[in-house]
Amino acid sequence: MCKKRINILVIDASCDETAAAVVTDGRTVRSAIVASQTKLHEKYGGVVPELASRAHIEKIYPVIKEAIDCANISEAEIDAIAVANQPGLTVALIVGVTAAKTLAFAWSKPLIAINHLHAHMQSAIINADDVKLPAVALIVSGGHTSLYDYHSPLEPKLLGATIDDAAGEAFDKVATILKLPYPGGPAIEKTAKNGDPAAIDFPRSLLGKGSLDFSFSGVKTAVLYYCRGQDMKGRNLVDSMSRQQIADIAASFQAAIVDVLVEKTRRAAEKIGAETVLLGGGVAANSALRAQLQQMCESAMPAKKLLVAPKQYCTDNAVMVASLAYHKFNAGVFADWALEPKATG
């Protein structure tokens, strides 16, 4: 007898995208609809919570409806509704959580709560047949930079996180200083390709000796001082810099961030005796980070296997949420009507 296919409607409104999708067995995407707010926040160089919340309210119903229509699926064929309830902007998350609870209640479907960062972790193992445990997971996104001890998809344990800016946030803010487009990560990576990573010695903040936490506000401020002068009274020198100078700043900044991410991951892997390193989140798309982490894994004693999210699954996507939701569905881990949004992860 063939196994029943499981269709999950996933909803994610954790930051600046309203997303809904219908995914079968955690892998096959039947529809994936995203209303992006990039244009809305572009001129502010970052996400403005009030604008994000209003846009989610406007888009949540049309996006869910389109996801269901495009999947050509009936209400009866949907087995569960999954929603990202943490971490993120509370004013954004609450829109997705309310929509998911309402639908689950009205249609009598099980509700599945998803930690958005745990879903990013899932994207790293999406094509892996076998993951040797224990693993360390480095999740680097626009809002978070976190290291996890990954023993199972259901219970990753947080080892360390950023105490100020996230890596992606630092990329975005430095891109604004360098007058590059938003989102800043891809723009910095592209600009850095023509620059010298050793041109400027930006600080690498490693915090305490055994610390697995991150701090990126220092390197961001160092770039600001470099472009504005120590007293911050001068005009932004970026306007008068050559393309080469800007490329050198971008490459040197990127190198500083990557060095810290790789060193902290090395420490975490050593601490838990990891066999595998997982890399996910928007910043995981960065080629310099992928290459340097690969080198670290190969040269570690004993060597570790690096599993990286495919590029299309680095930034937010429905498959990573659905993949985790499918695990939870099979394990019978469901949420109740008291489910609330939570800002932290």
Please report, as ranges, the residues that interact with ligand KG4 according to CB under 6 A: 15, 141-143, 168, 171-172, 183-186, 189, 281-283, 285-286, 315-316
Q: Which is nearer to Zn ion, 60 or 314 (CB)?
A: 314
Gyration radius of the chain over CA positions: 21
Question: Which residue stretch of 32-40, 76-84, 124-132, 312-320 sits at the interface with Zn ion (rule: CB under 5 A)?
Answer: 312-320
Q: Please, what is the minimum distance in Å from the beta carbon of residue 85 to Zn ion? A: 14
Q: How many helices (H) and strands (E) does the chain have?
A: 10, 10
Strand, helix or coil for residue 83: strand
Q: Which is nearer to Zn ion, 7 or 122 (CB)?
A: 122
Residues 312, 171 contacting (CB under 8 angstroms): no
Q: Give the CB-side neighbour count of residue 236, counting CA atoms within 13 A.
A: 10
Q: Please, what is the minimum distance in Å from the beta carbon of residue 261 to ligand KG4? A: 11
| Interacting partner of 143 out of ligand KG4, Zn ion, none (Cβ under 5 to 8 A depending on kind) | ligand KG4
| Interacting partner of 172 out of Zn ion, ligand KG4, none (Cβ under 5 to 8 A depending on kind) | ligand KG4
Residues 288, 145 contacting (CB under 8 angstroms): no
Where do we find the tokens 């690096």? 306
Question: Which residue stretch of 55-63, 134-142, 257-265, 295-303 sits at the interface with Zn ion (rule: CB under 5 A)?
Answer: 134-142
Q: Which is nearer to ligand KG4, 68 or 223 (CB)?
A: 223
Q: Please, what is the minimum distance in Å from the beta carbon of residue 15 to ligand KG4? A: 6
| Interacting partner of 283 out of Zn ion, ligand KG4, none (Cβ under 5 to 8 A depending on kind) | ligand KG4
Q: Give the CB-side neighbour count of residue 67, counting CA atoms within 13 A.
A: 27
95/314 Cα distance (integer angstroms): 24
Considering the rule CB under 5 A, would residue 16 count as an interface residue with Zn ion?
Answer: no
193/316 Cα distance (integer angstroms): 25
Q: Please, what is the minimum distance in Å from the beta carbon of residue 281 to Zn ion? A: 6
Looking at residue 130, the DSSP 8-state letter turns out to be -
Q: Which is nearer to ligand KG4, 195 or 281 (CB)?
A: 281
Considering the rule CB under 5 A, would residue 316 count as an interface residue with Zn ion?
Answer: yes
Positive/negative CA dihedral, 103, 105, 109, 111: positive
Considering the rule CB under 5 A, would residue 141 count as an interface residue with Zn ion?
Answer: yes
Q: Please, what is the minimum distance in Å from the beta carbon of residue 243 to ligand KG4? A: 19
285/108 Cα distance (integer angstroms): 39
Q: Please, what is the minimum distance in Å from the beta carbon of residue 315 to ligand KG4? A: 3
Where do we find the tokens 């219908």? 22
**Cα–Cα nearest to 167, from 261, 242, 75, 236:** 261
Q: Which residues bind Zn ion (CB under 5 A)?
A: 141, 316
